[in-house]
Amino acid sequence: MREDTNGSIHENSGNGYFEIDYPRGKLCLGRKTHIMGVLNITPDSFYDGNKNFVPEDAINHAHKIIAEGADIIDIGGESTRPGASPISVEEELKRVIPLIKILSKEINKPISIDTYKAVVAKRAIEEGASMVNDIGGLIDDENMSKVIAGARVPVVIMHKKGSPLTMQKNPICKDLFPEIISCLKRSISTAMEAGIEKSKIILDPGIGFGKTMQQNLEILKRLYEFKGMGYPLLIGTSRKNFIGALLNVSVQERLYGTLATLAVAIMNGANIIRVHDVKAAVHVATICDAIRNT
């Protein structure tokens, strides 16, 4: 392990150890895989749409997944499933801000705001969010990097090709890893130029976002190759379409397939896994971590 002058721990030659500061504490990534529990406040998300659209249901679900072992709560107000249409800033704020206000006072875990809009991220941080999960990779909204730098919160920088509405109509054609790495490097440069510290950046190669089924499988198989970039990795495979396509099952029947992908991701270097089924993911991560750390 080595430390920067600011005390943040970066990757070593083994599993990779990182400390990600957030306003209320630190995420110590490495020996323990961290679980990011999904809390979608949408009527149309591909799996849990409308389940938590009523505020009371959303609050209860947040407490449930914390009790099941979630280390981070990722709150999103806009569906980014393939084919989804964007919503207005006003509608997104209406969905997520009241919930963040309440949960930031009731739970002691970091709250992540899942948005690619700088205005939404800023308001969410002001109301208690501790990090930003940006599927736009700091590129879709030119003000996002400034908001994050000013707030000094961690950011998940994700790769995608196109928008949710169009991304699966025109996926990456060739040179999968060079294209993803090149785009992530561009996003990292944007972050650095805005003043975001290296020790606050998490990378996500964007499973399902402008990739074919075979490309999603290749990312999981070769995930360790991203570790050379020197940042912790987040992976989100939970109940996604490529699992359904491989198993020929509905979204409701994709849990076991999801758990298999999580095990592969953890063993290949994922530091954070973003999931709908927290309790099951905790069990998988606990076993994988025990094997990795033996």
Query: Annotated active-site positions, please?
Result: 240, 274
Rounded CA-CA distance 11/4 in Å is 11
204: closest CA among 221, 191, 219, 189?
219
269, 224 Cβ separation under 8 angstroms: yes
Strand partners, 273: 35, 235
Rounded CA-CA distance 126/58 in Å is 20
Q: How many CB atoms lie within 10 A of CB 182?
A: 12
Q: Which amino acid is at 213?
A: M
Q: How many CB atoms lie within 10 A of CB 144?
A: 28
Strand partners, 40: 76
Rounded CA-CA distance 5/89 in Å is 39
Assign residue 158 a region: left if phi > 0, alpha if psi is -120 to 50, beta otherwise? beta
Sequence-distant (6+) residues with CB within 8 A of 291 are 267
- Phi first, then psi: what are they for 14, rounded to 5°? -95, -125
**3-state class (DSSP) for residue 234:** strand
Measured between its terminal Cα atoms, the distance across the chain in Å is: 17
CA distances from 243 to 65, 85, 292 (A): 23, 23, 25
